[in-house]
Each structure stands twice: as structure tokens, then as C-alpha cells.
Amino acid sequence: MRIPGRPRGAAAFLVIGFALAACGTQVGGGSAGASSADPVETPPPAADEPNELLVLEWSGYEAEDFWTDFKTAHPDAAVTFEFGDTDANILALMEGGSQADVVHFYTGWQQFYVDAGLVQEIDTSQLTNWDKVPDAYKELGQIDGKQYFVPWDWGFTSILYNTEHVDEVTSWDVLFDEAYAGHVSMWNDGPAAVTVSSYIHGYDETNVTEEQLAAIEEEWIAQKPLNAFYWSGEYTDLCPAVQDGTVWVAYAWQGCYATALANGDPVAYATPEEGRNSWVGLYAISADTDSPALAHAFLDMKLAETTCANAVTLFYYGCANGDVMAAIDDPVLVEAFGINDPSILESTNFTPPITAEQRAAWTAMWERVQAN
Amino acid sequence: MLGRRGTLKFLAVPAFAWLVLFFFVPLVLIAVFSLREGSGVVAPDAPWSPSLEQYGEVLGTPAFMRLLGVSVLMALVIAGCATLLAFPVAYFLTFRAGSRAPLYLTLLLVPFAVSYLLRVMAWKLMLGPEGGINSGLLALGLTDEPIGLLLYSRPAVIITLVYVWVPFATLPIYAAMQRIDRAHLEAAADLGAPPWARFWRVTVPLTLPGAIATFFMVFIPTVGEYVTPSLVGGSDGIMYGNIIQGFFTRSANWPVGSAMAMIMLALTLSVVIVGVRLGGLRRLTA
């Protein structure tokens, strides 16, 4: 559904979220959806701009649960979606001339959008829910002191494993364990493969050398026979295979873990000795949009309570609205977000953005791995 | 007033325009992209000069070339199996079904009423550890635990694609058999040819152009398949088309993806030309 990145500031946000978890309104209920939104006051779109938006999204995020507050506040606005399936694909669509007014991608890719002049600065005075976003998250969306991005969804990446077949997992290297041949599943993504290998071998992710990249390539080629399949969709590919017992060990986001946990499946989500990974989703407004006011309203309503609560309760993703995260009390969500583990942040990795050269080299490496 | 030839030309204009716009132009664009340097998405107005850099990279990567060879072999197997399986179906429809042939033909086409993706997903369920095949084997006591090889493997891709293609492959062979003049068969019978001889000496040769056309109709799109391998193939069943897709999406590297596509096109056309020559299709259809 989406791609993880590794923000530096997410740790601070998590701390704030956890600290607030003891008080505030309740959010939870496992798979139950949140109630419909209260009327929300937002600035109306400018009279001279179209009352329509095209959103470049990840498949699944077009569900109305993910933008219900905007729908309530702007019932006449026409919202349509264009889809990408990786951050690279979404960036390619924008660079290729997508007409999208709003674009959604993940940490690690911010600089490319600003450098290419694809997005415009956010006028946060138009966002009525902006004060609910912790400062650390706001900083994730800034480049050179300017707010280009609105943080929204976030979560962890770690090892999801079947406790009936796999002993307690303590390292990312379980993905390479021959004991689980045919029951392993890695995400179909080159940068993720480089990240995992860097964790295991202690490489500096920001400066992976050519020799190290060659070793990483060999390592993943050797891992290929152990892998059942490379998953692309968290809920379409990975979760069903975890639940039917095909996959015992997987590189996974916490959404699939929470889904399996809520289903009563025998699963656990590791805190590897090398540390978990964390990612944050960002929204931006196209530099060429004809509907800047409506685009701002859309992003503002993404941060509204009902929409954020839906992301948490229906899809098990964290959300940048601190009030919503503070209200979590459902045991499944508490477990999924590690809220009951005060040391979780000490073992979480937040890596910096990748460069264009790294992106090209790492993705090409991954295609060669798959072709072998 | 248009003459007969003018009318035909006029009627061909929409189809011709369609092909130019949605086949020829995209093909040229891919060819142009494949000649660009760099490794990212290319802005349409960016200055550039033609280069064979991408072809060098693709041809110089043994893994890509090996996978292309594997994909061609898989496509040959799939096309061969689909054609062989379609042949008796077409024979039955032509010579044995009688007045019920239209009904059976309709039944044969029923799967097309279901989405391609759903049909492939159905196979994913059937081949899975809790699917129909494994459940049957377990119930019969033929195995103690589900066979893992069924799903996420090259055989899974071949089985699924053969299933998908057989109804489609039946149609050209059926059309070829319907064109057989029954007088040929009667003459053979009058001359003392037994049924098997009439089949091998009359029916098969006269149906061969349709069978060869069917073979290549299946072979050509199968070489570049990526949807079915991504659903049932797993890590082991990846085909060349999956890598092309990867370069266009995951990697956002259109120039390399385009070069890979052009190389595949050239190889596929070569196989078809060689196949047609070896099969003597021109002679058979003359």
C-alpha cells in the first residue's frame, strides 16, 4: 500500500504520542470505524479556481475513510485519484507531467520534489488542524526552513513472524535463514534491501560503497531461493500469505502485524538487535495546481480527527494528529505501535534521504537480483 | 462517389489511425526512450543525443539475458501446450459436436466473461497450501503435507497461462477446421484411408496454418508476461516482463526499461520469423 522511509524526527513524534497516550479521548475498537465527522470550518476554495482535485496516491488510499472529513466539509468538490505503486513510480509520474494537484509519498524522497520544482510551499495558516501536529513531524516536511510537506501516516518496519514455526527473532538476518526456506517474504524494493543489509552488517546507509553494494547484491541473490515471493501490496500480497501459513518470516509494516494479531493469528513483531525502522508519509501540493486553496483544504482535512482515527483503527497506521494518537487504548493498536514499550525508540532507525545516484544504483541492483 | 477500392480504403482509415496512434507512436516513443542516456525519468523537453548506452547495459548484464532466454523457453512451452490442448477441442467442435457445436463454443468462451485477474487469482487459490489440489492430495492420502512447489514457482506460471490461453487458442484452429472441404475427407475414405490416416494426412495438414497462427498468437504476448508471474510465480517464476515493469515503476528508469522492451521485441520477432519459415506457413497458406 505504501512505502516506508526513515525520518529523523519521527522518534520525537512517537515520544509525544506515547506521552499523551495516558489522557485524551479514546480511539480504538480494533476494526470498527470511527463515527462520521462533525462539521468542520475550513476556508472555502477561491471563487476563481476549479472545485476539483486530482490526487496522486497509493492504491487503497482512495477509500473515502481516508478523506472523509474533506468529503463532509466539501461535498461538492470532485476528487479523483491517480495511482502509483512505489515512491519511484510516483516521482516519475510527477516528473513526467502528472496533472495531480496533491501528491503522497514517503520520507527519503522529499528533496527530489523540491529540487525539481514539482511542489509549492504549504501555507500552514490555511490548515486549521496544523496545531495538532507535533513540531518534530512538522520539521520532517521542511526543507531549507520552508514547509513543503504535510506529514500524515507513519509506522514501523520490522520482521513479522509466525510464532508456531519460528523461534524468537532477534535479528534482521532471519530473512536469510535457510531453516525457513520457501516461507520468507521480502518487500519488492531495492532501497529496503540495502537498508536491511546495512543494519545486519553495520554499513553506513548514507555512504554505501560500491564494494558493499556488490556484496549486498550477492547476499540477496543467495537469499532468493529462500523467498516465497517478493511482496508489493501489504494487504493484498503479504497479509493473506501470513494468515494462510505460506509465509513465516517477512519484512513487514505494523499494519499487517496488527491485522494478523486482530485475527488471532500466531504472530509476533520483532524488535531486532539492529533496531526497527520507521517511516512517515507526506503530502505535498503541486507547483502547477489550479486549485491551491482546495488542495490546502484537502490536506487540512486529512489531519482532522475522523480521517486520522480511521487511518489508525481501520488500517493500523499511525497518524500525524497527536490528539488521535494520544487516545489509542485498543490493545491491538497499543501492541502494534509499541506504545507499551518505553524503550522502543532506542531501537528504532531513522535514516536520512537517499540521493539520486543511490536511488539509481540501488534500484538497478534490485532488478538484477530479481533477474537472477 | 467512391469506387470499391476507394470504399475499402475509406473503411480502413479508422483502424489504420487507431494502430498508428496507439501502436506505432508508442512503439516509436519506446524506441526513442531506449536511445536516451541517464537512469531516471526523462523530461520530454530535455536536450539529448542518441546513445546505445542502455543497450550496452542490458546486453552486458548476464542475468537479464539469461532471464530473457528462460522467458522465451517458457513462452514456447506454454504456446505448445495451449495449441496441443486446443487442437482436440477444436476437432470435437468441428467434427463431433454436430448441432450442439454453437452451445459448446459458447460454453468454451464463458471464462472470458470473468476478469483475467480473477481467473488467475482463482488459480492462486487452487494451487495454494489450502487450495483444491493440495486438499485433494491430502484427502487421498497421497501426501502428508501440502506441496509447496505448486504455488510461487515456474510450473505454476506455466499451468496458469496454459489454462488462460486454451479457450482463446481453440478459436483459430476451429476456424481452420471449419474451412476444410469435407469432400477431401470423403475422397480419402473412398480411397481406403482409415480414420487415423484421414486425420494425419488430411485434417492435420489443412489445419496446420491455423495451428501455427495459434501458436504464435499465444507465444508473442506470453514472452512479455508480467501479471501472471507476479501473482502466482513468486521469486522463482519471475519473467523478463517483470523486470521491464520494475524498471518503469520501482526503479523509474525508463531508458533501461525501454531498451529491454526493444531487445525483447527484436528477439520475439526473430523467433516468429524463424518459426514461420520452418513451419512453411507461407507455402501452407498459399
Pairwise CA distance, residues A147 & A141, whole Å: 6
The answer on A261 and A190 residing in a single domain is yes
The answer on A28 and A146 residing in a single domain is yes
Amino acid identity of residue A174, one-letter, is V
Confidence of residue A36 (pLDDT cuts 50, 70, 90): very low
The answer on A308 and A252 residing in a single domain is no
Pairwise CA distance, residues A11 & A114, whole Å: 24
Q: What pLDDT shows up at residue B283?
A: 57
Q: Containing domain of residue A215, as a range?
A: 157-276+353-371
List the CATH number of the domain containing A219. Answer: 3.40.190.10
The answer on A258 and A345 residing in a single domain is no
Pairwise CA distance, residues A294 & A55, whole Å: 12
Q: What pLDDT shows up at residue A360?
A: 86
Test B128 with A246 for CB contact under 8 angstroms. Answer: yes
Question: Cβ-count burial of B194 within 10 angstroms (0-12 exposed, 13-18 middle, 19+ buried)?
Answer: exposed
Mean pLDDT value across residues A214-240: 94
Q: What pLDDT shows up at residue A7?
A: 34
What sign has the CA pseudo-torsion A182, A184, A189, A194? negative
The alpha-helical segments, DSSP class H, found in A202-246 are 210-223, 239-243
The residue of chain B with its CA nearest to that of A189 is B250
Rounded to two decimals, the pTM is 0.83
Residue A84's H or E segment, with its range, is: strand A78-84
Q: What pLDDT shows up at residue A151?
A: 94
Distances (CA, A) of A155 to A106, A343, B221: 11, 16, 40
Confidence of residue A26 (pLDDT cuts 50, 70, 90): very low
Domain ranges of chain B: 51-285
Residue A5 domain flag: no
Of the candidates B234, B246, B247, the beta carbon closest to that of A229 is on B234
Rounded to 10 degrees, the C-alpha dihedral B124/B128/B133/B136 comes to: -140
Confidence of residue A23 (pLDDT cuts 50, 70, 90): very low
If contacts are CB pairs under 8 Å, which of residues 243-282 in chain B contact chain A?
243, 246-254, 256
Residue A2 domain flag: no
The answer on A329 and A219 residing in a single domain is no
- Better-scored residue on pLDDT, A358 or A352: A358
The answer on A192 and A283 residing in a single domain is no
Test A225 with B235 for CB contact under 8 angstroms. Answer: yes
Residue A4 domain flag: no
Of the candidates B63, B128, B236, the beta carbon closest to that of A368 is on B63
The answer on A262 and A200 residing in a single domain is yes
Amino acid identity of residue B111, one-letter, is P
Give the closest residue to B207 by CA, choosing from B235, B174, B234.
B174
- Give the model confidence (pLDDT) of B77-132 as tens digits: 999 999 999 999 999 999 999 899 999 999 998 988 899 889 998 998 888 877 88
Distances (CA, A) of A178 to A28, A197, B154: 39, 16, 21
Map chain B to HEC letters: CCCHHHHHHHHHHHHHHHHHHHHHHHHHHHHHHHCCCCCCCCCCCCCCCCCCHHHHHHHCCHHHHHHHHHHHHHHHHHHHHHHHHHHHHHHHHHHHCHHHHHHHHHHHHHHHHCCHHHHHHHHHHHHCCCCHHHHHHHHCCCCCCCCHHHCCCHHHHHHHHHHHHHHHHHHHHHHHHHCCCHHHHHHHHHCCCCHHHHHHHHHHHHHHHHHHHHHHHHHHHHHCCCHHHHHHHCCCCCCHHHHHHHHHCCCCCHHHHHHHHHHHHHHHHHHHHHHHHHHCHHHHHC
B215: distance to nearest CA of chain A, Å?
Answer: 26
Q: What pLDDT shows up at residue A208?
A: 94
Pairwise CA distance, residues B61 & A55, whole Å: 38
Of the candidates A84, A95, A244, the beta carbon closest to that of B129 is on A244
The answer on A114 and A17 residing in a single domain is yes
Of the candidates B61, B63, B152, the beta carbon closest to that of A229 is on B152
- Give the model confidence (pLDDT) of A173-182 as tens digits: 999 999 999 9
- Give the model confidence (pLDDT) of A276-324 as tens digits: 998 899 999 999 999 999 999 999 999 999 999 999 988 888 899 989 9
Give the closest residue to B271 by CA, choosing from B82, B27, B30, B76.
B76
Buried/exposed A204-220: b ≥16 CB within 10 Å, e otherwise: ebeebeeebbeebbebb
Q: pLDDT exceeding 70 applies to what percent of chain A?
A: 86
The answer on A243 and A297 residing in a single domain is no
Mean pLDDT value across residues A246-262: 92
Question: What topology is assigned to B51-285 in CATH?
Answer: MetI-like fold (1.10.3720)
Count of domains in chain A?
2
Amino acid identity of residue B144, one-letter, is D
Do the Cβ atoms of A199 and A272 come closer than 8 Å? Answer: yes
Mean pLDDT value across residues A109-132: 94
Q: pLDDT exceeding 90 applies to what percent of chain A?
A: 60
Residue A141 domain flag: yes
Do the Cβ atoms of B272 and B222 come closer than 8 Å? Answer: no
A277: distance to nearest CA of chain B, Å?
Answer: 20
Mean pLDDT value across residues A37-54: 67
Q: What pLDDT shows up at residue B275?
A: 84
The answer on A129 and A76 residing in a single domain is yes
Q: Within chain B, which residues score under 50 in pLDDT?
A: none
Q: What pLDDT shows up at residue B250?
A: 83
Q: What pLDDT shows up at residue B49?
A: 82
Do the Cβ atoms of A201 and A349 come closer than 8 Å? Answer: no
Widest distance between CA atoms in chain A: 64
Confidence of residue A345 (pLDDT cuts 50, 70, 90): low
Q: What pLDDT shows up at residue B237?
A: 95
Test A232 with B44 for CB contact under 8 angstroms. Answer: no
Residue A119's H or E segment, with its range, is: strand A119-120
Residue A122 domain flag: yes
Q: What pLDDT shows up at residue A317?
A: 87
Please provide the average confidence, as pLDDT, over all residues in chain A.
85
Query: Does the structure show a pLDDT above 90 at A72?
Result: yes
The β-bridge relationship of strands A276-286 and A348-349 is: parallel
The answer on A265 and A150 residing in a single domain is no
Q: What pLDDT shows up at residue B159?
A: 94
Residue A1 domain flag: no
Pairwise CA distance, residues A352 & A6, whole Å: 7
The residue of chain A with its CA nearest to that of B234 is A229
Do the Cβ atoms of B188 and B196 come closer than 8 Å? Answer: no
